[in-house]
Amino acid sequence: MDWFGRAKIAFTHSSSPLALQRKDGTATDLLKVCEASTSPCQLNPLLFNGHLQTMWTAVKEHGPPIYYRRRIFDADHKTYTGTFTVDFAVDPHSDVEEALPPRTAFFSEDDFANIGSDDSRPMLIVLHGLSGGSHEIYLRHAIAPLVMNGGNWDVCVVNSRGCANSKVTSGVLFNARATWDVRQVVKWAKQTFPNRPLFALGFSLGANILTNYVGEEGANCLLKGAISVANPFDLEIANKALQRTLLGKQVYSRVMGTNMKKLIDNHKDAVLKLTNLDYDRIQNVTYLHEFDREVQTVTWGYPTENAYYRDASSSDAVLGIRIPFLAISALDDPIAVYDAIPFQEFTQNPYTVLLTTSLGGHISWFEIGGGRWHAKPICDFLNHMVTEIDLDAIKPDANGAQVETQFVTEFDPVRRKLQVINN
């Protein structure tokens, strides 16, 4: 039992973690960096389980006042057309726009045209959770130490299509495997800021998307590191767990399903014009899996929502990661549940470390006074990587961990198919 809100911390990792070199020439490894970046997890003792931690998010505190400038990006993919928005954390300004989330305004054309730089400041690209956006409190808690009060990071948030008061401009919406927009932003950032070390951070659904993206990119990934927080990993297991309990179905699944239905309502005209979705059927949706059945299966051609969940899950993608990768999960998370965490996959990939806490709920980790513990390991890991580690010395291995078999095989973690090459 956890005593007075003190959560137990554990690390799951390869027996031979990724070797890293410090800037002073000495040796370390990814596990040591993650351990050094993780402070004790002392949470509010009154919120003594995952349900209380998660439900406390309904208490609308203001959170850190992060200001943003927004840019609308035209998708550069010939199939995944349309637009999406990216919000850049900036100095406080007064010209906020009512049609956008709080403290947010558009870039002027001139300002955005001149945004490029040859500086070497670290840059973080963030993905939010389901139906959220750059305004989410858990997200602002995490990035505030990086951009406020002398923080030297540049941070931007990729908003999922239609989220955070962005417009839907094509029939291409977002799903749990929608890696195309973050891929475009990473490439754009590399071209626009060629000397900046790029990192990424994802929360919940955004963590699943980010893990899929990093796994898909493999040794070609342009990021120097990434962090996944409260990732559901195996969406089919997580969904079944939600439907199995009263709180899971009638509280969490209902709230998420309602939020997604509201998102469709906010874009009714575009949905009716640009998609083949049955708007009236979506109005009868109550739970998240019902929404996925009416929207994701129809949009992407999955025969069932479970087929969508299996394909979009990021648990196998963990095996394809070839950059330093830290995942943070609470074992009492009622949404990104314990049973969905791919513990064995983390033991097989030296580029990955899984940090688990016995308490914390879903992207909650509320401390006494309202702070959020997850901001500490996130910021400490990122700062540790850029200040102490020689990032240029990290050479991704296209093969990663090797598993001996009685015949030659190859497992593709993206295609999720085992192929016998010869026997």
CATH code for the domain of 68: 3.40.50.1820
Please report whether residue 18 resides in a domain. yes
Query: Read out DSSP for 240-296?
Result: HHHHHSHHIIIIIIHHHHHHHHHHHHHTHHHHHHH----HHHHHT--SHHHHIIIII
CB 333 within 8 A of CB 361: yes
Rounded to an integer, what distance in angstroms lies between the CA atom of residue 53 and that of residue 332? 9
Sheet holding 198-203, edge to edge: 9-13, 352-357, 325-330, 225-229, 198-203, 123-127, 154-159, 83-90, 67-74, 104-106
Q: What is the mean pLDDT of the chain?
A: 94
List active site positions.
204, 333, 362
Rounded to an integer, what distance in angstroms lies between the CA atom of residue 238 and that of residue 345? 17
Q: What is the pLDDT of residue 70?
A: 98
- In 3D, which of 302, 261, 255, 256 has the Cα closest to residue 278? 261
- Tens digits of per-residue pLDDT, 347-364? 999 999 999 999 999 999
- In 3D, which of 239, 296, 236, 241 has the Cα closest to residue 263? 296
CB 278 within 8 A of CB 294: yes
CA separation (Å) from 43 to 250, 292, 376?
Answer: 26, 34, 13
Q: What is the pLDDT of residue 245?
A: 96
Rounded to an integer, what distance in angstroms lies between the CA atom of residue 170 and that of residue 237? 31
423 pLDDT tier (thresholds 50, 70, 90): very low
Exposed/middle/buried for residue 200 (C-beta within 10 Å: 0-12, 13-18, 19+): buried
DSSP structure class, residue 339: G
With H, G, I as helix, E, B as strand and everything else as coil, classify residue 184: helix
β-pair type (225-229, 417-422): unpaired
416 pLDDT tier (thresholds 50, 70, 90): low
- Tens digits of per-residue pLDDT, 369-389? 889 999 999 999 999 999 999
Structure-block tokens of residue 176:
């749990």
CB 380 within 8 A of CB 38: yes
- Tens digits of per-residue pLDDT, 218-245? 999 999 999 999 999 999 999 999 999 9
Domains in the chain, number: 1
| Across 5-34, average pLDDT | 97
Rounded to an integer, what distance in angstroms lies between the CA atom of residue 104 and that of residue 88? 9
Q: In angstroms, what is the C-alpha Rg of the chain?
A: 21
C-beta neighbour count of 32 within 10 angstroms: 14
Please report whether residue 109 resides in a domain. yes
Q: Which domain holds residue 106?
A: 6-234+313-397
CB 391 within 8 A of CB 385: yes
Q: CB-hemisphere CA count at 13 Å for 295?
A: 28
Please report whether residue 244 resides in a domain. no
Structure-block tokens of residue 251:
């509280």
- In 3D, which of 23, 115, 29 has the Cα closest to residue 73? 115
Please report whether residue 307 resides in a domain. no
Indicate whether 396 pLDDT > 60: yes
Indicate whether 422 pLDDT > 90: no
- Tens digits of per-residue pLDDT, 276-297? 999 999 999 999 999 999 999 9
Q: Which residues contact 205 (CB under 8 A, 6 or more apart)?
A: 129, 130, 160, 176, 232
Own/partner contacts of 144-148, CB < 8 Å, gap of 24 or more, are 144/64, 144/66, 144/375, 145/375, 145/379, 146/379, 146/382, 147/66, 147/89, 148/64, 148/66
Please report whether residue 276 resides in a domain. no
Please report whether residue 390 resides in a domain. yes
Please report whether residue 337 resides in a domain. yes
pTM: 0.95
Please report whether residue 46 resides in a domain. yes
